[in-house]
A and B are shown apart, each in its own frame.
Chain A
Amino acid sequence: MARYTLKRLIMMIPILFGITIISFAVIHLAPGEPTDLATSLNPDVTPEAKEKMRKLYGLDKPVHVQYFNWIKRIVVLDFGNSFAPDRRPVINKIKETIPITISINILSILLIMAVAIPIGIYSATHQNSFFDKAATVFVFVGFAVPTFWLALLMMRWFGIQLAWLPISGVKSVMYDYLSPVGKAWDVTKHLLMPVVLSAFGGLAGLSRYMRSNMLEVIRQDYITTARAKGLPERVVIYKHAMRNALMPVITVLGLSVPGLIGGSVIFESIFSIYGMGRLFYASVLSRDYPVVMGILVIGAVLTLIGNLLADVSYALTDPRIRKG
């Protein structure tokens, strides 16, 4: 087990290099340079001034040299400075947006689990019942409905007609004047709609997966044995069946680790949440290479770690794999 994990960890290094090379090449393939946006269609910028700007950003060097300069700094965890007019360190920009994105994603995943797993189990144990059919329609509606459209409807309903919840953002304008309890409640109210809507879209996947796992498990011999032993149905389902059905879910969780830092730019724009989605999208549009590469590197590391965690946890929870 330990040897396997070590081998995987060592393999991550060349894989990571490969990912950075491909990412770097791809974003440099896109037409246009960061300096173009400031200097194009600008009457006062001379060709000399433009060359100077390009030199400042290192854009005058060939692509592989630029890559080498970038990788030299990344290995010591120096993410460099953004190419945007504020020239701030990339790591600061990422630090500003990652907490809210991760928070919303974690809350969303927790909500999805809390709702999808019971739905999956109940649908499996009451297969083809009205509940099963209604739940299926419900989760697929959640999956199919465009979140931005539903978001606007919810904002109008809860924000204006009922005036229960704030419409957008993470904090009120007057947040700083609230008491600590007031602040906590304020943030909760703001996050309610984004988290619920984000979870609504993700219910389908997990609940269907849970349902099909359960269906398979309850047809197993050991479940029949448990019932034959006279155990109450509750114990049969929630102790024996569920545990076995949950195992693949754990791997799915591991694979969702890289998704934690991913934000949907559409979703974040609608809710005026300054998260990783908006940062990434804006950086791509302005060809802000250091920020784009910084985000991609973090995403790559998380993906690899997430994969590893998923595999390891599956091995740990399933004795059949552990013991070979």
Chain B
Amino acid sequence: MKKPMKKVSILTILLVSVFLMASCGDKTISFGGGADTGPAYGDAIIIGSIGDASNLIPMLASDSASHDVTGFIYSGLVKYDKDYNIVGDLASSWEISEDNLTFTFHLRDDVKWQDGKPFTSADVMFTYRLMIDENTPTAYAGKYLLVKEARAPDPYTFIVTYSEPLAPALISWGSLQSLPKHILEGADITKSELARKPMGTGPYKFVEWKTGEKIVLTSNHDYFEGRPYIDRIIYRIIPDTATMFLELKAGGVDWMGLSPIQYERQTDDESFKKSFKKYKYLADGYAYLGFNLDNPKFKDKRVRKAISYAIDKQEIIDVVLLGLGEIATGPYKPGTWQYNPDVERYDYDPEKARKLFKEAGWEDTDGDGLLDREGVPFEFTIITNQGNELRAKSAEIIQKRLNEVGITVKIRIIEWAAFLSEFVRPRNYEAMILGWNILQDPDLFNVWHSSKTGPDELNHVNFRNDEVDKLLEEGRRVFDQEKRKKYYFRIQEILADEAPYVFLYVPDSLPVVHARFHGIEPAPAGISYNFTEWYVPEGMMKYTNLK
């Protein structure tokens, strides 16, 4: 009979296809491998980026996507080497005067702009003047405004004098990426074509930018440190991390950052290991739970310390980061010279927490399992920004642990712009989970000094401590590393004792690069510090018909 046959055949086809789809394991487009025949010029690397750049003039953009791209096109006077020591970039050497107020930079004389014109100190002077010009809408002028005088006595010398000694000044001349005077002079920087078509002195030249899709760079054969081996860089903008991961496995992306779960659980099959190299090192940032210090609940430091004891930070790392991170004890990265390993620690200890709560007046007097004081139960709201799953999950774990010691915690996730304008700026919050980047210079004046508690400033927990203020003011004037260390070690001791934040974790950075790229050497500064020395051996090149 016709009908039952049709039924059976359609159903069978459906079932078989579902079964096939579900049963196949994941396949990575395999890489053949081969012998490393040494550095060769050629090939392209495709870098996956979640966001598009916004403006390719370094001082005008504040997003990381723009800075990633301009980092390849422009150069500063100095830069960091693999161990985070300051070395020369456009400057071959420099001297600092006895009184630490004057920096004399000797610029390289073999640098050309990518359009062929020679680079001189006039370009540095021009860029510096642009930076401090009040008509330039830049977010980075702060340190350069402290310069008393700048001179360029000859084409290869640039001298700056400060009125006060400023230790973080030296590396700030690395962040001042030099712009071409011969292009920008007399023009309005906000209307310049350079925003979409950059031109610098760096290892890569701009080719094209298809908005929302890709940015293409090609190697600068006249780069003053030598022509880079990899001929092309292509930034592919892929907003979804799941899609980017699939593209990686299909060969459409060569370099991306993995999430903890991708690193731990989804990249261990044989074909993946053959085709890709994974790296793991501490990232330059940390997450924290910050208390609004003007809120009466958190004014007593015993309460803050108790909350820190009640939170199991290792648990957060194990659950949220799958173990890929370290507990943070302060605002610096473990392993760096400024990191103080001996500060007070808050290991998970709910008993100690309860004791401290009792001392501060919080006890469970009515037996309902919740702490209360003068009849008021202890509850507060933690806010964090939308779009960061790690922070949201951390909040949930904190909520659970605090509930166990008798505190009711509510969580609110708020869209970023509203988060800033309605909660952070007017200090209209009780506690928040956020993160900070960790910069290499230990100066944290802007985050912890009591003068930086204005609505748009960084000390948004309103931390005010006289001793820390003094240490911050003096620490940034001292140049000798051993002497500076003492100031910042003491600051970390105080921050650990006062606990304005519960420092949570420093996550791991988890980049993955296609196996055909050689020359990658993980170091304290990560893996991209020597990008111009990465290469693909001749026989392994993938993109060979680049015009």
Chain A contact residues, CB within 8 Å of chain B: 30-33, 36-45, 47, 49-50, 52-53, 56, 84-87, 93, 96-97, 130, 134, 152-153, 155-157, 159-161, 163, 166-171, 173-174, 177, 269-272, 274, 278-279, 285-287
Contacts and interface: CB of A to CB of B under 8 A. Distances in A.
A40 B238 contact: no
B457 interface: yes
A40 B424 contact: yes
Contacts of B446: 43
A36 B141 contact: no
Nearest to B211: A96
B274 interface: no
Contacts of B62: 38, 42, 85
A44 B142 contact: yes
From A30, A43, A97, A170, name the one whose CB has the most chain B CB atoms within 10 angstroms: A43
Given A93-B211, A163-B250, A270-B242, 10 more contacts: A37-B416, A38-B62, A42-B139, A44-B142, A45-B456, A84-B54, A134-B10, A160-B27, A167-B247, A274-B213
Contact of A152 (B237, B243, B421, B456): B243
Nearest to A130: B7
B129 to A, nearest CB: 17
Contacts of A38: 62, 137, 139
B246 A159 contact: yes
Contact of A272 (B61, B63, B240, B460): B240
A116 B326 CA distance: 55
Contact of A32 (B55, B141, B421): B421
A43 B195 contact: no
Given A47-B454, A152-B246, A53 B137 contact: yes
B46 interface: yes
Given A169-B213, A270-B240, A41 B246 contact: no
Interface of B: 3, 6-7, 10, 21, 24, 26-29, 44, 46, 52, 54-55, 60-63, 66, 134, 137, 139-143, 190-191, 195-196, 211-214, 234, 236-240, 242-243, 246-247, 249-250, 252, 415-418, 420-422, 424-425, 446-447, 452, 454, 456-458, 460, 543, 545, 547
Given A41-B456, A159-B246, A173 B214 contact: yes
A270 B212 contact: no
Contacts of A30: 417-418
Contacts of B10: 134
Contacts of B143: 44
A37 B417 contact: yes
A59 B213 CA distance: 31
A130 B9 CA distance: 13
A212 B424 CA distance: 55
A52 B137 CA distance: 9
A133 to B, nearest CB: 10
Contact of A269 (B28, B240, B543): B240
A86 B196 contact: yes
Given A43-B142, A285-B416, A157 B246 contact: no
Contacts of A33: 421
B29 A160 contact: yes
A36 B422 CA distance: 11
Q: Which 8 A-B pairs have the closest CB atoms?
A: A274-B212, A44-B142, A32-B417, A43-B446, A32-B421, A269-B239, A85-B54, A85-B55
A39 B456 contact: yes
Nearest to A56: B137
Nearest to A275: B212
Instruction: Specify which of B6, B212, B214, B237 lies most central, judged by the most chain A CB atoms within 10 Å of its CB.
Output: B212
A261 B155 CA distance: 55
Contacts of A39: 139, 456
B213 to A, nearest CB: 6
Contacts of A152: 242-243, 246
A270 B452 CA distance: 41
A272 B418 contact: no
A176 to B, nearest CB: 9
B145 to A, nearest CB: 8
Contact of A31 (B242, B249, B417): B417
Best-buried of B60, B425, B456 by chain A (most CB within 10 Å): B456
B250 A36 contact: no
Nearest to A41: B458
Name, among A39, A160, A272, A285, the residue most crowded by chain B CB atoms within 10 Å (CB to CB): A272
A45 B452 CA distance: 11
A276 to B, nearest CB: 11
B421 A173 contact: no
Task: Choose among B46, B213, B237 the residue with the greatest number of A CB atoms under 10 Å from its CB.
Answer: B213
30 contacts: A31-B418, A32-B418, A36-B417, A41-B420, A41-B424, A42-B458, A43-B142, A44-B140, A44-B141, A47-B454, A56-B137, A85-B54, A85-B61, A153-B21, A156-B26, A156-B246, A157-B21, A160-B26, A161-B26, A167-B252, A169-B213, A173-B214, A173-B236, A173-B252, A174-B543, A174-B545, A271-B243, A272-B236, A272-B238, A285-B416
B61 to A, nearest CB: 5
B246 A36 contact: no
Given A31-B421, A153-B21, A272 B27 contact: no
Contacts of A87: 190-191
Contacts of A44: 139-143
Among the interface residues A30, A31, A53, which one has the most CB atoms of the partner chain B within 10 A? A31
B476 to A, nearest CB: 13
A170 B418 CA distance: 33
A271 B137 CA distance: 34
A97 B425 CA distance: 34
A59 B250 CA distance: 47
Contact of A278 (B3, B212, B214, B420): B212
Nearest to A149: B242
B269 to A, nearest CB: 12
A252 B21 CA distance: 36
B416 A272 contact: no
A170 B7 CA distance: 39
Given A30-B418, A160-B28, A274 B237 contact: yes
B2 to A, nearest CB: 11
A170 B422 contact: no
B134 to A, nearest CB: 7
A40 B142 contact: no
Contacts of A56: 137
